[in-house]
Amino acid sequence: MTKLETLPQHFLDNVKKFGSDRVAMRQKEFGIWREYTWQESYEQVRDFALGLIALGLKRGEHIASVGDNDRQYVWAYLAMLSVGGVQVGMFTDTNPKEMNYLINHSDAKFVLAKDQEQCDKVLEIKDDLPNVRRVIYWEDRGLWSYDDPWLISFEEVQDLGRELLAKEPERFEQEAMIGSAEDLAVLCYTSGTTGLPKGVMLNHEGIVFSSVAFDQIDRRYPSDNHVSILPMGWIGEHILGVAPHAVMGIIMNFPEEPETVRNDIREIAPEGILYNSRLWDSQVSLVQVKMKEASFMNRKLYDLFLPIGYRFADKRMRNEAIGPGLALMNWLGDQLLFGPLRDNLGLSNIRAAYTAGSALSPDAMRFFHALGINLKQIYGSTEVTGGATGHYDNDIKFASVGKPAPGVRVMISPEGEILIASPAVFIGYYKNEEATAKSVYVDEEGTRWFRTGDAGYIDDDGHIIYLDRVKDMITLASGEKFSPQFIEGRLKFSPYVQDVMVVGGGRAFVTALVTIAFENVGNWAESKRIGYTTFTDLSQKDQVYALIREAVEEVNESLPPNGRIVRFVLMHKEFDADESEVTRSRKLRRGFLADRYDDLIEGMYSGADSVTVNTPVVYQDGSEGFLETTVKLMTVEKDIMEAVS
């Protein structure tokens, strides 16, 4: 039997197994789930792949893709890999300037742009893309009047493919079988928290390895449903979506619209799902807010059974015996409360749920386990092809990111940095040997270790405890190092807090920039009959400051005195990716934020009661200007502030 080394080779193997007997994909359109068998998917992939060859695609050339996740996106993904192409994913909210950099830096020869919105961005920078041969779109709504020969539809490419198929009926399978494990498959650009994004080169071996490693932690079956919602510009969807589809044969499901995702997930009820920590935090907020607005009886059920769920989950996590009384009460709570809540969240069939990206607070992890949701932390990065560590069933520590996945090695450097080695460690950064050399350490045995840049340690049970980015650790006045992400994660457990950036390195005490969760705080304000007009107006209300102060004080109770938030400010605006304040995956650009809001930070350390800031605005006619706003600063720990002043 021929060894299967690439994603397309695994895909073809599943086509042979399942043919027209099993569903490979579903996509919701006009409220109806349309199903596609493995044979139908095969034909779509084959025709598009041959069409790319007809357009002149050569093995090793790159194709940049942008669009919402849907069947055509994945068919094109598998097609380009089948004939030796390399996928370069871009986020849907990438602006033309960012597109220009990504397309040119990646040396993309073709661009896949879903619709008119994405095509317009590419057309805007056409003169700057001399190496792009064609732009391929797959949703023609709004493009009927476009006559630029640079544009070509998905169906037209497939027509070219069918012409080539008639001449060379074996060409597709021959091309797919040429591929090897070492071939470059994906060029995945990092978030770029500092400087320009770097192109991480990932081969087929690493992608298949990472997917199989996590299959050994949580088995996936051909009957399992995966809802494809994570952006293809992020490694998570590659490893938990496309790769398991091609390798294990799981069913991919594509929501109708971004606005219908929550309802579509509920209809599919997947067996596994991955949200980043921000999405899980929003789920916590959703449950908490809904329970506050629920009927008297439902609120009483929540107040009665949630503590029981916590006790049950805590005992399971500690492998302690669960008495029949607690087991019975938890079962009753599952029937009356937890089960309906899981169904409402679309998690009624869930076997394993995952969180990745920035750390999710232990409080949030514990909350979901109390609801009967088997939530696990995955830790890794694009450079190690997704996850490198994760929680195993019955061995979950809320404060850890789990143990190394099968075949993965983790060690801690003398400086406290987490190092990772496995077959999934990236090839290197595209066209950046200097950055590659800084990020990869080769030991005496020739093992390549990725320097994560993360601080952490391994506990006595072999669990990896992630603290923070090494460069972001705060040195307190006592000389003790502390993690701002730990504080931020705890504070974001409040349903009224959207984002937090903790400041304190080299300072006398800890402060925080806080953005409110506008919708939740707005609902709260309306219930209290507090009038407001804009985000800025609401954020500066005395009552809102008091509301957030309660959350800050609750977090401070769990922190050492020198590590507590002494002062905070409620930001007059949300942190915005378009303004480079956060990345497209919502990671804080700490250095940029510290520079932009230096006046607010200095005001907190000088003891000022308020600071006047100029807020940039863009008017309907496209002109730009500034609005002057006075932002309040609040002191929480007055004694600490006075002691260090």
pLDDT tens figures, 549-587: 999 998 888 677 777 899 999 999 999 888 888 887 778
- Residue 217 falls within a domain, yes or no? yes
Domain end, chosen from 233, 258, 283, is at: 258
**Which amino acid is residue 327, in one-letter code?**
A
| Same-domain status, 555 and 584 | yes
Q: Label residue 618 by pLDDT band (50, 70, 90).
A: low
Percent of the chain with pLDDT over 70: 96
- Given a contact cutoff of 8 angstroms between Cβ atoms, the answer to whether 397 and 354 are in contact is no
pLDDT in the model for residue 578: 84
Percent of the chain with pLDDT over 90: 71
pLDDT reading at 129 higher than 60: yes
- Residue 463 falls within a domain, yes or no? yes
CA distances from 76 to 52, 111, 115, 295, 387 (A): 9, 11, 15, 48, 25
| CA-based R_g, the chain, Å | 26
Q: Which two tokens stand for residue 452?
A: 């994560």
Domain extent, residue 397, equals 275-469
- The conformation of residue 239, written as its DSSP 8-state character, comes to I
Q: Label residue 138 by pLDDT band (50, 70, 90).
A: very high
| Same-domain status, 310 and 403 | yes
Q: Which residues contact 417 (CB under 8 A, 6 or more apart)?
A: 451, 452, 453, 454, 455, 456, 470
| Same-domain status, 169 and 196 | yes
Cα gap 292→272, rounded to integer Å: 28
How many angstroms from the chain centroid is the CA of residue 7? 22
pLDDT tens figures, 339-386: 999 998 999 999 999 987 666 777 788 899 999 999 999 999 999 998
Q: Which two tokens stand for residue 317?
A: 């996590």
pLDDT reading at 514 higher than 90: yes
CA angle in degrees (0–180, nearest 5) for 263-264-266: 65
- Residue 267 falls within a domain, yes or no? no
Domain end, chosen from 412, 435, 469, is at: 469
Cα gap 613→315, rounded to integer Å: 50
| Same-domain status, 506 and 441 | no
Cα gap 421→435, rounded to integer Å: 18
Tally of structural domains, the chain: 3
Angle between helices 296-317 and 362-370 (to 10 degrees): 110
| Same-domain status, 539 and 630 | yes
> E strands of 156-246, at which residues?
184-189, 199-203, 225-227
| Same-domain status, 465 and 502 | no
How many angstroms from the chain centroid is the CA of residue 94? 15
| Same-domain status, 439 and 546 | no
Cα gap 390→396, rounded to integer Å: 9
Alpha-carbon dihedral 398, 404, 405, 410, rounded to 10 degrees: 150
**In terms of Cα–Cα distance, which of 448, 337, 341, 353 is closest to 391?**
353
Euclidean distance between the first and final Cα of the chain, in Å? Answer: 74
CATH number at residue 128: 3.40.50.12780
- Given a contact cutoff of 8 angstroms between Cβ atoms, the answer to whether 162 and 172 are in contact is no
Look at the block and give the residue holding tokens 């109390």.
370
pLDDT reading at 610 higher than 70: yes
CA distances from 50 to 82, 111, 159, 160, 175 (A): 9, 16, 9, 7, 9
Cα gap 377→400, rounded to integer Å: 8
**Mean pLDDT within 144-148:** 92
CA distances from 313 to 4, 340, 521 (A): 41, 18, 30
Q: Label residue 259 by pLDDT band (50, 70, 90).
A: confident
Containing H/E element for 253? strand 251-254
As a whole number of angstroms, the longest Cα–Cα distance in the chain is 83
pLDDT reading at 264 higher than 80: yes
Containing H/E element for 328? helix 324-333
| Same-domain status, 439 and 561 | no
| Per-residue three-class SS string for 165-206 | HHHCCCHHHHHHHHCCCCCEEEEEECCCCCCCCCEEEEEHHH
CA distances from 348 to 132, 272, 468 (A): 45, 11, 33
| Same-domain status, 228 and 309 | no
Cα gap 447→125, rounded to integer Å: 43
- Residue 269 falls within a domain, yes or no? no
Alpha-helical (H) ranges within 218-259 are 235-237, 243-247
Question: What is the DSSP secondary-structure string of 456-473?
Answer: EEE-TTS-EEEEEEGGG-
- Residue 520 falls within a domain, yes or no? yes
pLDDT in the model for residue 287: 87
Cα gap 547→541, rounded to integer Å: 10
CATH number at residue 572: 3.30.300.30
**In terms of Cα–Cα distance, which of 544, 561, 537, 545 is closest to 638?**
561
- Given a contact cutoff of 8 angstroms between Cβ atoms, the answer to whether 65 and 90 are in contact is yes
Cα gap 493→454, rounded to integer Å: 23
Domain end, chosen from 227, 258, 289, is at: 258
Burial of residue 311, with CB atoms counted within 10 A of its CB: 0-12 exposed, 13-18 middle, 19 or more buried? middle
pLDDT tens figures, 57-97: 999 999 999 999 999 999 999 999 999 999 999 999 999 99
pTM score of the predicted model: 0.77
pLDDT in the model for residue 358: 65
- Residue 507 falls within a domain, yes or no? yes
| Same-domain status, 249 and 111 | yes
**In terms of Cα–Cα distance, which of 74, 406, 92 is closest to 218?**
406
pLDDT reading at 134 higher than 60: yes
**Which amino acid is residue 568, in one-letter code?**
F
| Same-domain status, 195 and 281 | no
- Given a contact cutoff of 8 angstroms between Cβ atoms, the answer to whether 588 and 580 are in contact is no
CATH number at residue 461: 2.30.38.10
Cα gap 556→63, rounded to integer Å: 49
Cα gap 360→377, rounded to integer Å: 8
**In terms of Cα–Cα distance, which of 606, 607, 605, 579 is closest to 593?**
579
pLDDT reading at 8 higher than 60: yes
- Residue 496 falls within a domain, yes or no? yes
Half-sphere exposure of 26 (CA within 13 A, CB side): 21
Burial of residue 150, with CB atoms counted within 10 A of its CB: 0-12 exposed, 13-18 middle, 19 or more buried? middle
- Residue 264 falls within a domain, yes or no? no
| Same-domain status, 538 and 586 | yes
Q: Which two tokens stand for residue 556?
A: 């401070």
pLDDT reading at 192 higher than 60: no
**Which amino acid is residue 271, in one-letter code?**
E
